[in-house]
């Protein structure tokens, strides 16, 4: 019933949309962000054909002792679920404040009518309990027309896991209504100099919403350019810990243990995993020009894929495994190319911009996102690989680079200098592919090169 679009319903959604968006923009607007550097908001209804689902989220019930810990957990879970569902852009949500005027009776049928009277289609009930020092969250999605519970989930965990429990419920709700996995449990790897600004850089992880930032390397060196294996178990990165830049891998199946992958030669950089999680591509130089090489985690000789006297770098293996996007200066300026995984069938992708680099594939393999230099500054651009049409995701005068798609292909994380005032500063942001919902995720030190995991390690 919910998946069938109804004309009358659709009109209602459109009429209400500006209110919701205004709220989201206010939430996203950071006081540090100057207005002229914000991307233009070009709104299209998310998902194209699918109408938004009108969802009521009343205040969560709390059935345990009124401990401070419990009260904090309730607020945290409510806020996290709300933010996750807002961020998915498949709902129009009425939360506690919008529902405050309703005189709820406690009678299910009567209360459903009250929720419906405000235009809601479904309601998400959340009930928390404290059991033996642990948190229990029960989430129920009820169809307001039929009264049926269409989704019911129960989670149990320690209090520090409250946000993770909330993300898990939110992903289930998103999956139910959109038939695709949510991204609230995905992880972003990035580079930060916060421990020794402008001196050392370490690899960090954070939740997709910027929470829970923690270092995973302690090389006390320059560590750069992380890339996830598709299963989220391995993270390849560049580090100078042995002098020359070499490729290391952190293995989350072995407690995040680090091991050297390719360290000989004068330069090894820009690792990217193949979808099989075994093969990888890197940029490499043994004294001559930098070229793209392919290798295998199991060992064996590296295979050279490009031969050009200029620079070839920033390889990215396609989700299908058949192609590799990369940057080459062979035309005289850095531009984006795609070749097959054997190095043949080269074609140029970027046609606008004097300097394009850092291509990343959309999860469905139909688009490339990259940093494109226009009028002296980098913006984030997306090129459709079928039509070769290019659109800009960000604008303004700040430098935006190192874009990475979210696992659902609907958001892009990137590094930007847009927040700096007196001193140049680089931070990580997330924005929807249509330029809406810009959100700053980092603020401590400088932060670079986000890499978005497909799954949580």
Partner 1 sequence: MSRTRMLSAIGLVGLSLVIMGCPKKAPEPVPPPPPPPVTVPPPQEVAPPPPVVDETPDPWSGEIEEINRMIVEQGLVGDVYYDFDKFDLRPDAREQLAKNAQFIRQHPNFRFTVEGHCDERGTNEYNITLGQGRSSAAVGYLQSLGVANGMRTISYGEERPVCTQSGESCWQRNRRARFIVTGK
Residue closer to partner 1, measured from CB, 176 or 240? 240
Residue 227 interacts with partner 1 (CB under 8 A)?
no
Residue 243 interacts with partner 1 (CB under 8 A)?
yes
Residue 272 interacts with partner 1 (CB under 8 A)?
no
Residue closer to partner 1, measured from CB, 173 or 282? 282
Place of tokens 């209110």: 19
User: Would you state the structure tokens that stand for residue 79, as one six-digit string?
Assistant: 């806020």
Residues 169-208 that bind partner 1 (CB under 8 A): 198, 201
What is the crossing angle of helices 68-88 and 162-178, to 10°?
A: 30
* CB 2 to partner 1: min, Å: 44
Residue 421 interacts with partner 1 (CB under 8 A)?
no
Query: Binder to partner 1 among 102, 161, 267, 346 (CB under 8 A)?
Result: 267
Residue closer to partner 1, measured from CB, 128 or 236? 236
Candidates 5-13, 56-64, 182-190, 263-271: pick the segment binding partner 1 (CB under 8 A): 263-271
Residue closer to partner 1, measured from CB, 167 or 373? 373
**Cβ contacts of 67-72, under 8 Å, gap ≥ 24:** 67/130, 69/130, 69/159, 70/128, 70/130, 70/135
Q: DSSP 3-state helix, strand, coil percentages of the chain (rounded to 5)?
A: 20, 40, 45
Residue 360 interacts with partner 1 (CB under 8 A)?
no
Query: Binder to partner 1 among 357, 408, 432, 434 (CB under 8 A)?
Result: 357
* CB 301 to partner 1: min, Å: 21
How far is CA 243 from each of CA 240, 264, 350, rounded to the nearest angstrom? 5, 10, 34
Query: Binder to partner 1 among 77, 169, 170, 238 (CB under 8 A)?
Result: 238
Residues 285-314 that bind partner 1 (CB under 8 A): 285, 287-290, 311-314
Contact 431, 439 (CB under 8 A): yes
β-bridge partners, 423: none
Place of tokens 């688009």: 367
What span, in angstroms and rounded, lies between the C-alpha atoms of 159 and 7? 44
Place of tokens 């799954």: 455
User: Would you state the structure tokens that stand for residue 320, as one six-digit string?
Assistant: 């299908």
Binding mask 384-403 for partner 1 (x = CB under 8 A): ---------------x-xx-
Q: If you ran DSSP here, which 8-state letter would residue 298 be given? A: T
Residue closer to partner 1, measured from CB, 48 or 287? 287
CA dihedral 29, 32, 33, 36 (to 10 degrees): 120
Residues of the shown chain interacting with partner 1 in the complex, contacts defined by CB under 8 A: 198, 201, 222, 224-225, 238, 243-245, 266-267, 269-270, 283, 285, 287-290, 311-314, 327, 333-334, 355, 357-358, 371, 378, 399, 401-402, 423-424, 448-449
């Amino acid at each position: 019933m919910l998946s069938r679009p109804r004309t009358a319903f659709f009109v209602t959604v459109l009429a209400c949309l500006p209110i919701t968006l205004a709220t989201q923009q206010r939430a996203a607007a950071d006081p540090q962000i100057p207005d002229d550097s914000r991307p233009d908001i070009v709104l299209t209804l998310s998902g194209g054909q699918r109408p938004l689902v009108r969802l009521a989220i009343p205040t969560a019930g709390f059935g345990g002792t009124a401990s401070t810990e419990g009260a904090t957990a309730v607020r945290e879970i409510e806020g996290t679920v709300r933010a996750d569902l807002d961020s998915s852009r498949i709902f129009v949500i009425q939360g506690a404040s919008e529902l405050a005027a309703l005189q709820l009776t406690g009678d299910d049928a009567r209360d459903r009518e009250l929720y419906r009277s405000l235009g809601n289609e479904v309601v998400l009930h959340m009930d928390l309990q404290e059991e033996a020092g642990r948190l229990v969250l029960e989430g129920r999605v009820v169809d307001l027309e039929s009264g049926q519970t269409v989704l019911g989930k129960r989670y149990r965990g320690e209090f520090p896991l409250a946000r993770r429990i909330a993300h898990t419920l939110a992903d289930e709700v998103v999956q139910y209504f959109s038939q695709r996995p949510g991204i609230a449990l995905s992880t972003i790897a990035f580079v930060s100099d916060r421990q020794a600004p402008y001196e050392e850089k370490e690899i960090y992880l954070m939740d997709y919403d910027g929470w829970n930032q923690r270092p995973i390397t302690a090389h006390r060196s320059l560590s750069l350019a992380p890339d996830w294996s598709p299963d989220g178990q391995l993270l390849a990165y560049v580090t100078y810990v042995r002098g020359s830049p070499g490729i290391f891998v952190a293995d989350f199946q072995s407690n995040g243990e680090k091991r050297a992958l390719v360290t000989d030669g004068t330069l090894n950089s820009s690792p990217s995993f193949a979808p099989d999680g075994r093969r990888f591509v890197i940029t490499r130089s043994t004294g001559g020009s930098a070229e793209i090489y392919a290798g295998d985690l199991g060992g064996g000789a590296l295979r050279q894929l490009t031969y050009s006297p200029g620079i070839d770098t920033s390889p990215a293996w396609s989700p299908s495994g058949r192609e590799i996007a990369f940057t080459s200066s062979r035309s005289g300026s850095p531009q984006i190319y795609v070749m097959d995984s054997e190095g043949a069938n080269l074609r140029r992708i970027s046609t606008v911009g004097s300097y394009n680099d850092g291509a990343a594939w959309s999860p469905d393999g139909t688009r490339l996102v990259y940093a494109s230099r226009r009028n002296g500054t980098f913006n984030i651009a997306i090129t459709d690989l079928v039509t070769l049409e290019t659109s800009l995701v960000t604008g303004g005068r700040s430098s935006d680079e190192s874009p990475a798609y979210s696992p659902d292909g609907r958001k892009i994380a990137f590094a930007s200098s847009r927040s700096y005032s007196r001193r140049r500063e680089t931070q990580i942001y997330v924005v929807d592919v249509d330029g809406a919902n810009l959100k700053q995720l980092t603020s401590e030190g400088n932060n670079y090169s986000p890499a978005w995991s497909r799954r949580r390690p």
